[in-house]
Amino acid sequence: MNLLITPTQLKLLKSREPAPLSCKTCNSTFWSPKHMIQKVLKGRCASTLEFCSRSCQSKSLSKSILHKCKNCSSSVSVAKSRIKKSKTGLFFCNKSCAAIHNNATRPKLTPNKRAYRVKAFKALANECNDCGYSKYMSVLQVHHKDKDRTNNKISNLEILCPTCHYERHYLESSGCYSNSTKLLEQ
C-alpha cells in the first residue's frame, strides 16, 4: 500500500473519510476509506489496497513484459514464454504493423529474380533430374545445388519434381528441414 498522505494526516481523518493511495501498476491516485486502510495496516483485512482496480491487479500478476512495437513504438505486452521462443526478438502490436515492417525490410522478389526458372527450363531437359517425371511442366521446380538463391548460373540449377526436391532438402537438412531432426528409418 502506497499512502499519499502522512500518518498524522491519516489520524486527522474521520473513519469513513477517503484517503489517497497510489496504484502499484498504473501509478494513478485512488481513494479508500480510513477504516479500510487501518484494517490493512493492522493485518485484519485480506485486501492489500495496492491496486486501483481488478484490471491493474491482474496486470501485475500476469507473466508478461512490456515491449515497444518495432513498427509504431506503441507498448505491447509480451508473454515471457513468447520472448524465449522468438527467433528475431521483434514484437508488434498487431498483424498490420508486422506486415508493414516485414514488407519494408525484406527484399522484394521482382520478376528478374524469378527469371532463373525460365532460364533453367530453356537450357535443361524439362523433366525431373532424379526420377524423370515430366507429365506436368508447371509442377516441376528449380533447385539451387549450392543452396545460394542468388547464384542463378545454369551449372548451379537443376529441375526436380516436388517430391525429389523436398527429399533432397530433407537429406541435406536444409530449407524447411534445417531445424528438424531426421526420423530413424526402419
Where is pLDDT greater, at 175 or 44?
A: 44
**Residue 103's pLDDT band (boundaries 50, 70, 90)?**
confident
**Residue 177's pLDDT band (boundaries 50, 70, 90)?**
low
pLDDT at 183 over 70: no
**Are both 100 and 117 inside the same structural domain?**
no
**Are both 49 and 71 inside the same structural domain?**
no
Q: What are phi and psi of 30, to 5 degrees?
A: -135, 165
Closest C-alpha to 140, from 124, 168, 154, 159? 159
Q: Which of 71, 87, 105 represents a domain boundary (last residue)? A: 105
**Are both 88 and 142 inside the same structural domain?**
no
**Residue found by looking up cell 532463373 in the block:** 116
Segments forming the whole domain that contains residue 151? 111-177
Q: Say if pTM beats, i.e. exceeds, 0.75.
A: no
Q: Which of 23, 40, 60 represents a domain boundary (last residue)? A: 60
**How does pLDDT run across 24-35, given as a tens digit for each residue?**
888 899 999 999
Residue 185 is assigned to a structural domain of this protein:
no
**Are both 172 and 116 inside the same structural domain?**
yes
Residue 133 is assigned to a structural domain of this protein:
yes
**How does pLDDT run across 162-175, given as a tens digit for each residue?**
999 988 888 877 66
What is the average pLDDT across 147-161?
Answer: 90
**Are both 91 and 48 inside the same structural domain?**
no
Instruction: State residue 185's pLDDT score.
Output: 46
Residue 126 is assigned to a structural domain of this protein:
yes
Q: Range with the lowest mean pLDDT among 26-40, 81-95, 102-116?
A: 102-116
Residue 50 is assigned to a structural domain of this protein:
yes
Q: Range with the lowest mean pLDDT among 35-39, 76-80, 126-130, 152-156?
A: 76-80
Q: Is 57 exposed, middle or buried (0-12, 13-18, 19+ CB in 10 A)?
A: middle
- The domain tally of the chain equals 3
4 neighbors 22 (Cβ within 8 angstroms): yes
Q: What percent of the chain has pLDDT over 70?
A: 89
What is the average pLDDT across 93-104?
Answer: 90
Residue 100 is assigned to a structural domain of this protein:
yes
Q: How far is CA 137 from CA 132, 142, 153, in A?
A: 12, 11, 21
**Residue 123's pLDDT band (boundaries 50, 70, 90)?**
very high
**Are both 92 and 34 inside the same structural domain?**
no
**Are both 75 and 38 inside the same structural domain?**
no
**Are both 125 and 169 inside the same structural domain?**
yes
Residue 46 is assigned to a structural domain of this protein:
yes
Residue 62: what residue type? S
pLDDT at 110 over 80: no
CA distance 27 to 2: 10
Residue 155 is assigned to a structural domain of this protein:
yes
Residue 186 is assigned to a structural domain of this protein:
no
Beta partners for residue 30, in sequence order: 21
**Are both 101 and 155 inside the same structural domain?**
no
Q: What is the mean pLDDT of the chain?
A: 85
